[in-house]
């Protein structure tokens, strides 16, 4: 197991990020920056805060979305339309290295926090705008949420069963945009070290998820038929998917090449001659004839328990996996063995938190508390040499989304 020296410097120690953020995409981006040591000041509506705080109460009374993407941040409660809010924001941004926002299209610029205006004031500032469709083009003013982008990107069209399309079970469009924003900001920080100037980064959820759709897009190149929806099975590689053993449990099996196909026939199915059946002679033919091949595999597996199937696969060095539910993942033995769980404080008490991927022997990631709305407002105002009332809410009921 990789070990790290105590109190080692983190890559983004000394970097300050100001984020006018909500929901998932921008908060997920800035949480990654906080994990690496950046100070992240999250600007929220007074009282209500980020609306994602109220999606559910599953984590000790707090929102599962919010706890996931908002640890290690400071919360500044500020009505962006209130008198004096602009002075708070500009003083805060003047001390920042990065400004991130994912308000509704055009809202940041209308409030005076567009990239052009901010970079005129602060040439070293890195400005990252995250939106559904980007800052220009015919869709620029459309509101966008994760499911809508999963649909627009073609993801839903290739996901699900033959009878019905399906969305992903996680917010993959938000996650994709958040990760591209995160890596783009890291790149911009490196570039600033060489040039002395900041950057404007324009990340769209659509372009982020379309990048992840690269394989199916090319598979359907120049009007070719797209990959069929195939449930939990791979759409174009076979056998690669779920198979039910005789005890009713499912084992996920994955074959990647012709050598593995021959080993699978001989050692797992114990029918070596099947490898030479013309219907299954290569992956393209196995995929085309998957129903016939599936029946043969299921006939073999029906006589075995799931443990026996796994033993045969293990002996043949064929890739496989258990089909875990989320409770299984909480107690996954590999995560426990690698010490991948930490504890994070929330306004309602401590909860477990998964450590960031990518164990580094030079530093430990920062995993600090999830803030309450406005928890750090007074301290931040003192730092900016402003009176406590400078962030008071105006009569405006909400900031723009």
- Ordered domains of the chain (ranges, CATH): 16-214+341-391 (3.40.50.10540), 240-322 (3.30.1540.10)
| Residue pair 74/380 in contact by the 8 Å Cβ criterion | yes
Q: Report pLDDT digits (tens) over 33-66.
A: 999 999 999 999 999 999 999 999 999 999 999 9
As a three-state string, the secondary structure of 44-88 is ECCCCCCHHHHCCCCECCECHHHHHHCCCEEEEECCCCCCCHHHH
Q: How far apart are CA 21 and CA 74, in angstroms?
A: 12
> What distance, in Å, lies between the first and last C-alpha atoms of the chain?
44
Q: Is 152 helix (H, G, I), strand (E, B) or coil?
A: helix
* Count of other CB atoms within 10 angstroms of residue 229: 18
Average pLDDT over residues 224-228: 92
| Residue pair 102/401 in contact by the 8 Å Cβ criterion | no
Q: Report pLDDT digits (tens) over 71-92.
A: 999 999 999 999 889 999 999 9
Where residue 276 falls among pLDDT bands split at 50, 70, 90? Answer: very high
Measured CA to CA in angstroms, residue 211 lies from 158, 208, 307 at distances of: 15, 5, 38
DSSP assignment, residue 372? P
* pLDDT value for 126: 98
C-alpha closest to that of 112 among 127, 124, 133, 97: 127
Q: How far apart are CA 52 and CA 63, in angstroms?
A: 7
Where residue 1 falls among pLDDT bands split at 50, 70, 90? Answer: low
Average pLDDT over residues 340-368: 94
| Per-residue pLDDT at 296 exceeds 60 | yes
| Per-residue pLDDT at 329 exceeds 60 | yes
* pLDDT value for 393: 46
| pTM, 2 dp | 0.89
* pLDDT value for 269: 96
């Amino acid at each position: 197991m990789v070990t790290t020296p105590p109190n080692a410097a983190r890559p983004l120690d000394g970097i300050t990020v100001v984020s006018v953020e909500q929901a998932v995409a921008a908060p997920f981006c800035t949480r990654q920056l906080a994990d690496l040591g950046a100070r992240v000041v999250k600007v929220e509506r007074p009282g209500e805060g980020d609306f994602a705080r109220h999606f559910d109460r599953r984590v000790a009374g707090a929102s599962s979305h919010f706890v996931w993407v908002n640890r290690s941040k400071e919360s500044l409660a500020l009505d962006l339309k209130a008198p004096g809010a602009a002075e708070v924001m500009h003083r805060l941004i003047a001390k920042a290295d990065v400004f991130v926002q994912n308000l509704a299209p055009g809202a940041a610029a209308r409030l005076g926090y567009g990239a052009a205006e901010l970079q005129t004031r602060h040439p070293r500032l890195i400005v990252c705008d995250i939106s559904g469709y980007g800052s220009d083009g015919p869709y620029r003013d459309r509101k966008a949420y994760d499911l809508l982008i999963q649909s627009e990107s073609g993801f839903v069209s290739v996901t699900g069963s033959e009878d019905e399309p399906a969305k992903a079970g996680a917010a993959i469009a938000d996650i994709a945009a958040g990760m591209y924003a995160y890596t783009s900001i890291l790149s911009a920080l490196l570039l600033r070290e060489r040039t002395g100037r900041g950057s404007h980064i324009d990340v769209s959820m659509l372009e982020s998820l379309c990048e992840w759709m690269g394989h199916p897009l090319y598979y359907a190149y120049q009007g070719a038929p797209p990959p069929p929806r195939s449930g939990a099975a791979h759409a174009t590689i076979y056998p690669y998917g779920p198979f039910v053993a005789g005890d009713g449990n499912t084992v996920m099996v994955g074959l990647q090449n012709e050598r593995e196909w021959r080993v699978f026939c001989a050692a797992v199915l114990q029918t070596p001659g099947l490898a030479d059946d013309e219907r299954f002679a290569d992956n393209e033919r196995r995929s085309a004839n998957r129903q016939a091949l599936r029946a043969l595999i299921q006939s073999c597996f029906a006589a075995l328990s799931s443990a026996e199937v796994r033993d045969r696969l293990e002996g043949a060095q064929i890739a496989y996996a258990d089909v875990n539910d989320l409770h299984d993942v909480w107690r996954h033995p590999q995560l426990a063995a690698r010490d991948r769980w930490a504890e994070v404080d929330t306004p309602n008490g401590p909860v477990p938190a998964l450590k960031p991927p990518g164990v580094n022997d030079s530093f430990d990631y920062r995993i600090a508390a999830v803030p309450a709305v406005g928890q750090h407002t007074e301290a931040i105002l003192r730092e900016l040499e402003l009176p406590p009332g400078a962030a008071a809410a105006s009569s405006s009921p909400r900031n723009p989304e």
